[in-house]
Chains A and B, each alone.
Chain A
Amino acid sequence: MPDLVPALEITNLSVGYATEDGIRTAVDKVSFSIAPGEFMGLAGESGCGKSTIAQSILRLLRAPGVITGGEIRVAGHDMLTANSDRVRELRWHTASIVLQNALTSLNPVKRISAQLKEVLERGGGTKTPAELLEMVDIDPSRLSAFPHELSGGQRQRVVIAMALALSPQLIILDEPTTALDVIVQQEIFVTVKALQKRMGFAVLLITHDLPLLFDVADRIAVMKDGKIVETASTATFRQHQEHPYSKALLSATPKVDFTISEPVAERKPVPPVLETHHLVKSYGRNPFTGSAVLRAVDDMSFRLAPREIVALVGASGSGKSTFGRIVTGLIRPTSGDILVDGHTPVPVSRRRPGTPRAAQMVFQDVYGSLNPLHTIGHHLRRAVISAPGTDKRDVKTRVAALLTEVGLTPTENYLDRRPHELSGGQRQRVGLARALAASPKLLVADEPVSMLDVSIRRDILNLIARLRDEQGVAVLYITHDVVSAGYIADRIAVMHRGKLVEEGPAKAVLKNPQHEYTRRLIAAVPGGLGLPIDQSQVALS
């Protein structure tokens, strides 16, 4: 009765990382099992040990990671006592894995056909590479393509096809769509669910995104600090969360509250803080026709009033970040007019100390946007000193005031710390303080929370909203996440392929999207927006 053997059975698994002070436990006596054909979700924040479990299952854990105890059985095979040849034999035949980063999980210098064949050559597969591609809805003529010739979503599909090549009983999906857009994410999961129905494999989906699990998983386990704090069927979990951490995790996800009606915008004829007319940014030029190869921003006419938060929503590659960079003067438009606080943005290279900066940037990458060699105090002092109209004697008080504004108190605790001593959320607060140093009229926040853990995203969004209320700064919030846009923004503008396709009051756009693309974007949001969505809208053809 092979069907009664669980696809995965983990008993008392403990995994640690060897450090100078002995072994630091990352996974602490975790036990769970997955039935054949079951879709199990494992949710938790970064550092909770969920990916460590994924790697332990296939014995992929590298030094300094060590499995310190417990048992792992994949389809009845003991993975921990087997010798390495046996483990290699079991890999992919019993369980396969899809890694988070679709862009780097295929070898860039080998054709995808070769990378698929490599697996099939191990024997046991019944499909040809072409059939595998067809299975995940990729044209088999793309077999001879190299990974960089495929989109991120297509690459992840290739990896999924690869994972299914030897018909394993279990597939581990380790944050497979975190780097992808919601629409692509939805399409991939529609494919995975359909294949699962047909082939009957079990899935372990590891993610930080609880609403996504509500949509796809049969059962959900929540992990915190190396322990599983709660396991329940999705239906039960949705209604009631046993553990306070599960509740916290769920409530941390921003939701759009449609019960609060939007304040009627004052229609005073104030000059806008940002205004563009037919703004175009194009890249590359065809040598024969002179036409642009790519129009990243295509004829954008846009206004942003003082004290207004506008979310610029779009998929990656829609041109929204390019627009933000033009606004802050980081790049120059090809044609069209742009006025920030009544002036054309000064290119960064021609900026001198004292030049007014009406628009300031808050970056997505909280790890890369602060120089690791300098202290927080240094970062802020530099920003304050170069701001226009600064009295050199006030620098210290101004830095302290900025830290207080972004909630990093007591301030003297932070001045001498370096970025690596701060959490991601604290770093983004420093990023906000730095942007505020020049007393800008407009903050351009480019995906400020997408790299942060779910539980602190809402805090940062709330902080941005509070800064608007207290400082009167306008915010251009650039994001791919419609939910957070609806949560924070007064107005939403949707960009698609460089063009502005829809614009309006936030909740009106979300409730009643006019453009086809906006509708698809909203329908793809896992768990919905917090309002009943017509199910026919969600189902994909």
Chain B
Amino acid sequence: MLYIAKRLAFYVLAAFVAITVNFFLPRLTPGDPASTIVATYSTTLNEESLAALRQAYGLTDDPLFQQYLTYLGNILRGDFGRSLSNFPAQVSDIIAAGIGWSVLLGLTSVLLSFVIGSALGALAAWRRGGIFDRVAPPVLLFLGSFPYFFLALLLFYFFCFKLKWFPMGNAYSSVNPPPFTLSGIGDVLYHLIAPAFTVVLVSLGPWTLNMRNAMIGVLSEDYLTLAEAKGLKPRRVLFSHAVRTALLPNVTALGAAIGGVFSGQLLTEIVFTYPGLGYSLMRAVSAVDYPLMQALFLIITLSVLAANFIVDTLYVLLDPRVRAGQGA
């Protein structure tokens, strides 16, 4: 428990540092983005609109520290200001609309590749030197060497455009998000398949290889020999002893992978016009929508931290040695 509290304190501190950097960095650069934009409009807009614009950006003549406190307060209330490209929509509303889809796509693809990759890796190590062990790792590494967007374009062209097996984009068929019914969920899943499949295909290689290597290490341990000597069924030796222990390094990697969800699948979202945060980020960048960008960067950073904290906590449950505080 103390361990988790310590980790939590660390992550709260890290989040605070991230927010602070996110605030100061644009303001420290000469000609910061906000005042640049205000300056661009200063000739075309009247005094009143300009003042309103300044206010919308939170661009005041208050001392920096005062602004910083205001910013912290706003963030705690979930107020990220207003978006430029979708003025006067709140940035938080835009993010709220996209984050669900990003989380859905991200978690689905990462968890799928984690489960499938670990299973393949365990299988390869268990039948070490077999046909599967010799064929699977190079094939998966070859697939993994594709850039996301290239494979995404390829799959999009064949399966969505040519064969029309999957929809050409978006996360659902209707204009409004579907109701929470069986057919609605089915529709969402149908749209999910192609982008999730892309991400899984590209990221499967490392999961498989790491699992295979960890398994081979564990399989030579004395406690595996003992488990076998005890007359346990091979299936039990595999799952209860070998996989259980060999999975630990992959769980660590899972934290990093979940944290990287938003940035990693950005291009996939763009190719499949999936309405997640990556897609929003692209629109924000092309529209020079600084408030939205800033908020998105913050969300990405915070999601990395949150995911790592969850994995740290999970690790305590999986590896009792961490509980004693010896290494991690």
- Residue ranges of A at the interface with B (Cβ–Cβ < 8 Å): 58, 60, 88-93, 96-97, 99-101, 104-111, 118-119, 122, 146, 148-149, 159, 162
**Interchain Cβ contacts under 8 Å between A and B, 22 examples:** A60-B229, A88-B231, A88-B232, A91-B228, A91-B231, A93-B231, A96-B229, A101-B222, A104-B223, A105-B225, A107-B241, A107-B245, A108-B245, A108-B321, A109-B245, A109-B321, A118-B230, A119-B230, A119-B231, A148-B321, A148-B326, A149-B324
* Residues on A with beta carbons closer than 8 Å to the beta carbon of B179: none
* Residues on A with beta carbons closer than 8 Å to the beta carbon of B233: 88
Please tell me if the beta carbons of A97 and B226 are within 8 angstroms of each other in the complex.
Answer: yes
**Cβ distance B268 to chain A, nearest Cβ, rounded Å:** 35
Please tell me if the beta carbons of A107 and B230 are within 8 angstroms of each other in the complex.
Answer: no
The answer to whether the Cβ of B318 comes within 8 Å of any Cβ in the partner chain is: yes
Please tell me if the beta carbons of B244 and A60 are within 8 angstroms of each other in the complex.
Answer: no
**Bound Cα distance from A108 to B226, whole angstroms:** 13
* Residues on A with beta carbons closer than 8 Å to the beta carbon of B223: 104-108
**Bound Cα distance from A100 to B245, whole angstroms:** 21
- Number of B interface residues in the complex (CB < 8 A): 24
**Cβ distance A103 to chain B, nearest Cβ, rounded Å:** 9
**Bound Cα distance from A89 to B229, whole angstroms:** 10
**Chain A residue nearest to B324 in the complex (CB):** A148
* Residues on A with beta carbons closer than 8 Å to the beta carbon of B32: none
The answer to whether the Cβ of B300 comes within 8 Å of any Cβ in the partner chain is: no
Please tell me if the beta carbons of B245 and A118 are within 8 angstroms of each other in the complex.
Answer: no
**Bound Cα distance from A162 to B232, whole angstroms:** 13
The answer to whether the Cβ of B93 comes within 8 Å of any Cβ in the partner chain is: no
Please tell me if the beta carbons of B232 and A118 are within 8 angstroms of each other in the complex.
Answer: yes
**Cβ distance A76 to chain B, nearest Cβ, rounded Å:** 18
The answer to whether the Cβ of B240 comes within 8 Å of any Cβ in the partner chain is: yes
**Cβ distance A121 to chain B, nearest Cβ, rounded Å:** 9
Residue of A100, A110, A111, A122 near B231 (CB, 8 A) is: A122
The answer to whether the Cβ of B227 comes within 8 Å of any Cβ in the partner chain is: yes
**Chain B residue nearest to A99 in the complex (CB):** B222
**Bound Cα distance from A88 to B227, whole angstroms:** 11
Please tell me if the beta carbons of A99 and B245 are within 8 angstroms of each other in the complex.
Answer: no
Residue of B225, B226, B229, B319 near A109 (CB, 8 A) is: B319
The answer to whether the Cβ of B88 comes within 8 Å of any Cβ in the partner chain is: no
Residue of A91, A110, A111 near B230 (CB, 8 A) is: A91
**Bound Cα distance from A469 to B275, whole angstroms:** 83
* Residues on A with beta carbons closer than 8 Å to the beta carbon of B227: 107, 118
Beyond A110-B244, A146-B321, whether A104 also contacts B221 by CB under 8 A is yes
* Residues on B with beta carbons closer than 8 Å to the beta carbon of A118: 227, 230, 232, 236, 240
Please tell me if the beta carbons of B230 and A162 are within 8 angstroms of each other in the complex.
Answer: yes
Please tell me if the beta carbons of A146 and B320 are within 8 angstroms of each other in the complex.
Answer: yes
**Cβ distance A272 to chain B, nearest Cβ, rounded Å:** 38
**Cβ distance A522 to chain B, nearest Cβ, rounded Å:** 31
* Residues on B with beta carbons closer than 8 Å to the beta carbon of A58: 229
**Bound Cα distance from A162 to B222, whole angstroms:** 15
Please tell me if the beta carbons of B229 and A97 are within 8 angstroms of each other in the complex.
Answer: yes
Given contacts A107-B241, A118-B236, 16 further A-B contacts (CB under 8 A): A88-B232, A90-B231, A91-B228, A91-B229, A92-B230, A92-B231, A99-B226, A104-B221, A105-B225, A107-B245, A109-B248, A118-B240, A146-B320, A146-B321, A149-B324, A162-B230
**Cβ distance B230 to chain A, nearest Cβ, rounded Å:** 5
* Leading 9 A-B pairs by shortest Cβ distance: A91-B231, A146-B320, A104-B222, A105-B222, A107-B223, A92-B231, A88-B231, A105-B226, A99-B222
**Bound Cα distance from A357 to B226, whole angstroms:** 47
Interface centre among B230, B233, B318, B320 (most CB of A within 10 A): B230
**Bound Cα distance from A149 to B326, whole angstroms:** 11
**Cβ distance A61 to chain B, nearest Cβ, rounded Å:** 10
**Cβ distance B156 to chain A, nearest Cβ, rounded Å:** 43
Per-position binary interface string of chain B over residues 210-240, scored 1 when its CB falls under 8 Å from any chain A CB and 0 otherwise: 0000000000011101111111110010001
**Cβ distance B189 to chain A, nearest Cβ, rounded Å:** 35
Residue of B225, B228, B240, B320 near A148 (CB, 8 A) is: B320
**Bound Cα distance from A15 to B317, whole angstroms:** 43
**Chain B residue nearest to A146 in the complex (CB):** B320
Residue of A90, A104, A109, A159 near B244 (CB, 8 A) is: A109
Please tell me if the beta carbons of A109 and B318 are within 8 angstroms of each other in the complex.
Answer: yes
**Bound Cα distance from A146 to B317, whole angstroms:** 12
Per-position binary interface string of chain B over residues 127-161, scored 1 when its CB falls under 8 Å from any chain A CB and 0 otherwise: 00000000000000000000000000000000000
* Residues on B with beta carbons closer than 8 Å to the beta carbon of A122: 230-232
* Residues on B with beta carbons closer than 8 Å to the beta carbon of A110: 240-241, 244
**Cβ distance B122 to chain A, nearest Cβ, rounded Å:** 16
**Chain A residue nearest to B247 in the complex (CB):** A109
Interface centre among A58, A109, A146 (most CB of B within 10 A): A109
* Residues on A with beta carbons closer than 8 Å to the beta carbon of B318: 109
* Residues on A with beta carbons closer than 8 Å to the beta carbon of B230: 91-92, 96, 118-119, 122, 162
Please tell me if the beta carbons of B228 and A108 are within 8 angstroms of each other in the complex.
Answer: no
**Chain B residue nearest to A103 in the complex (CB):** B222
**Cβ distance B182 to chain A, nearest Cβ, rounded Å:** 40
**Cβ distance B274 to chain A, nearest Cβ, rounded Å:** 38
Please tell me if the beta carbons of A92 and B229 are within 8 angstroms of each other in the complex.
Answer: yes
**Bound Cα distance from A106 to B248, whole angstroms:** 17
**Bound Cα distance from A358 to B326, whole angstroms:** 35
Please tell me if the beta carbons of A108 and B231 are within 8 angstroms of each other in the complex.
Answer: no
**Bound Cα distance from A106 to B224, whole angstroms:** 9
* Residues on A with beta carbons closer than 8 Å to the beta carbon of B321: 108-109, 146, 148
**Bound Cα distance from A217 to B254, whole angstroms:** 53
**Cβ distance B325 to chain A, nearest Cβ, rounded Å:** 10
**Chain B residue nearest to A95 in the complex (CB):** B229
Per-position binary interface string of chain B over residues 263-291, scored 1 when its CB falls under 8 Å from any chain A CB and 0 otherwise: 00000000000000000000000000000
Beyond A110-B244, A148-B324, whether A60 also contacts B228 by CB under 8 A is yes
**Chain A residue nearest to B234 in the complex (CB):** A88
**Cβ distance B261 to chain A, nearest Cβ, rounded Å:** 27
* Residues on B with beta carbons closer than 8 Å to the beta carbon of A90: 231
Per-position binary interface string of chain B over residues 292-328, scored 1 when its CB falls under 8 Å from any chain A CB and 0 otherwise: 0000000000000000000000000011110010100
**Chain A residue nearest to B224 in the complex (CB):** A107
* Residues on B with beta carbons closer than 8 Å to the beta carbon of A104: 221-223
* Residues on A with beta carbons closer than 8 Å to the beta carbon of B240: 110, 118
* Residues on B with beta carbons closer than 8 Å to the beta carbon of A105: 222-223, 225-226
